[in-house]
Chains A and B, each alone.
Chain A
C-alpha cells in the first residue's frame, strides 16, 4: 500500500528507537502514510501496524488520538487556521471567516471541487506570526491577512 520511498522513510524512523520498541515509530509511520495517501483508512492503519509488527488497535488508537491525522478523505489542500486566543487577538478569527466566505464552506467541509478542506486548529506555537494557517499539516504560513490569503490560494494549484 506504500511506495518503496515511504517504506524507506519508515525504516529510517525505526532506527531511532531500540529494536524492541518498534511501536515508537508508529506516529511517524502514520504521518508518512498520510502524506502519500492524503488520509488514513482503516486498511492503511492496519497495514502500518503489520509493517511495524504491532497490534492494529495500537496504531488505530494513535491515529484517533492526535489531531493532525485525517481519518476521512480531505481536499487536496487542508487549511488549518489557528483561532486560539493569542491568534484571535491578531486576526485569526477574521482569517477563518474570510476563508469560509471565500471558499463557501463551513468548518470541516471540503469545497465541491475537492480542492480545499477548511479546519480550525489549536495552538501551533507561532502566536507572534498570527494569523497563522497550516497547509496540509506541514507548511506554515504566517501573517495571513486577506490579501496574503488571496495570494496563497492563487499559488495552491
Chain B
C-alpha cells in the first residue's frame, strides 16, 4: 500500500483502484498524449532534449545529474545501434518508489522510455527490474504487451517512421547492479561488476554501443514534462531543484510510504504527512537519502527542506529520496552494525579496498556492539575509511564509509559509551 500527495507521476488517480495500472486507465488520464504530440507534430530531437533541460529534472536515482544534459551526451549522428536503459534495480535500503511506479503506473515509464529513445536516437530499450519484486516484473511485462498491442511499441509507431522496442530484464539479487555499469554487465549476462569509467556509457554502453541509463522515476516524469511543458514542471519545485519528487519514508513514523511532493518542501511537513513519529517517540536521527547518505541528527533535519541543495548544505545527500527515520530508542551502534553488514555482503569483490575494507568495518562495529570494542577502534574505523573512499572503481566503498563517518561523528558519545561500558547507552529493541 502506498500513500501519495498529488504529484506528477501519481496525479489524477487513486492507487487503490485495481485497474489504475492498465493502458485504458492511463490513456483516460492523458497518457500517451506526449508521445502523440512529438510524433504528430514531428518535434525535433533537440527540441525534446531542450524541454527536458528546461524542466530542471535531475536524476532521481541518487546522483541528481541533470537528465536533459545526460541525453545530450549521446552521439546521435553516429551510425549503429544505440540503447536507452532504465535502472529499476531499486535496492538502496530505504527506497521503494520505483516499485510503486511500475506497479501502479507502468505506462508512464513506458511512455517516458519511448520518448527518451526518440530523443537520443535509440530504437531499443531495456528496463532492468530489481530481483526481489517478481510480481512487479510480471505486471510490467503485461503493460508492455498492452503497449505493443496498441501500437505504441514496435515498428512504425502511430504510423510514423519511428520504431522502438522495449523489453524487461529481471535481476536476481545483487545491490551492486544499481550501479549503472554493473547493471550493463548484468544485462549482458555477466556478474554485475562495475566498469572503469571512462569510457562512459554514452560512448561505450550496452554491448559496447552508445547507451543512456536513467532512473525509473526520472523517465516516468518525462511524459508530464513533454505534455505540460518543462517550465511547468520546473515551477513545481524551487530553482535548481525542479519539479516534484517521490520520497519513501520508512522507520519510526506512523504512516510509512511514498509521498510525491514539490522539491523544497520542509522536512517537518513531510514528517507530518507520514503521521509523525510512531508511538510519540522523540526523533533522534534521519538518513535523508538512502542508507548510503550520511545520517543527520533530528534537530538538524528539522531545519532542512527536501531538495538537493538544502540536504547537501546540512552535510548529507538527497540521494534516492529514501528517508529513514529513527527514534530516541535506537542504539546508533546497532543501527550502523546492520548497515555495515549490508555493505560487506553486497561488495562485488572486484576492488581490494572495498572487498576487504567493508569486512573490516563490519567486524569492528560488530565487536563494539558486542562489548569487545577497544579504545583505538574509532580511529581505526577512520583510518580504514580513508583507505577505501575514492580508491575503488565504483562508489560502493564510499557508500559504505559515509554512514560510518557520519554515525561516529554525530553520535560519538554512544560509540564511546559502548566501548567503555560494553553495553548500549539506550535500551534498544528493534520494534
Report the minimum CB–CB distance from B103 to chain A (whole Å): 10
Knowing A125-B98, A127-B93 touch, does A28 contact B170 (C-beta < 8 A)? yes
Question: In whole angstroms, how far apart are the Cα atoms of A69 and B250 in the complex?
Answer: 28
Report the stretch among A15-23, A106-114, A147-155 that lies at the interface.
A15-23
Residue contact A68 to B132, C-beta cutoff 8 Å: yes
**Which A residue sits closest to B92, measured CB to CB?**
A123
Contact partner of A24 among B2, B171, B187, B330, CB < 8 A? B187
B186 interfacial by beta-carbon distance below 8 Å: yes
Knowing A66-B171, A68-B172 touch, does A92 contact B189 (C-beta < 8 A)? no
Residue contact B132 to A65, C-beta cutoff 8 Å: no
Contact partner of B91 among A16, A22, A123, A142, CB < 8 A? A123
Contact partner of B430 among A58, A94, A121, CB < 8 A? A94
Question: In whole angstroms, how far apart are the Cα atoms of A30 and B191 in the complex?
Answer: 13
A11 interfacial by beta-carbon distance below 8 Å: no
Residue contact B258 to A128, C-beta cutoff 8 Å: yes
Most interface-central of A25, A58, A68 (chain B CB within 10 A): A68
- Sorting the interface of chain A by its residue count into under 10, 10 to 19, 20 to 34 or 35 or more gives 35 or more
A86 interfacial by beta-carbon distance below 8 Å: yes
Residue contact B186 to A127, C-beta cutoff 8 Å: no
Question: In whole angstroms, how far apart are the Cα atoms of A91 and B190 in the complex?
Answer: 35
Residue contact A85 to B248, C-beta cutoff 8 Å: no
Residue contact A58 to B189, C-beta cutoff 8 Å: yes
- A84-B342, A140-B134 provided; 8 other pairs, C-beta below 8 A? A18-B207, A24-B187, A28-B170, A89-B250, A90-B251, A122-B175, A122-B342, A125-B91
A-B contact pairs, 29 of them (CB 8 A): A21-B189, A24-B189, A27-B189, A58-B189, A65-B174, A66-B131, A68-B131, A84-B339, A85-B94, A85-B291, A85-B342, A86-B291, A89-B252, A89-B324, A90-B250, A91-B431, A93-B430, A94-B430, A122-B93, A122-B173, A126-B133, A127-B248, A127-B322, A129-B1, A129-B96, A129-B256, A138-B134, A140-B134, A142-B1
Closest 9 CB pairs of A and B: A23-B189, A67-B173, A68-B173, A124-B132, A86-B250, A138-B134, A127-B250, A16-B167, A66-B172
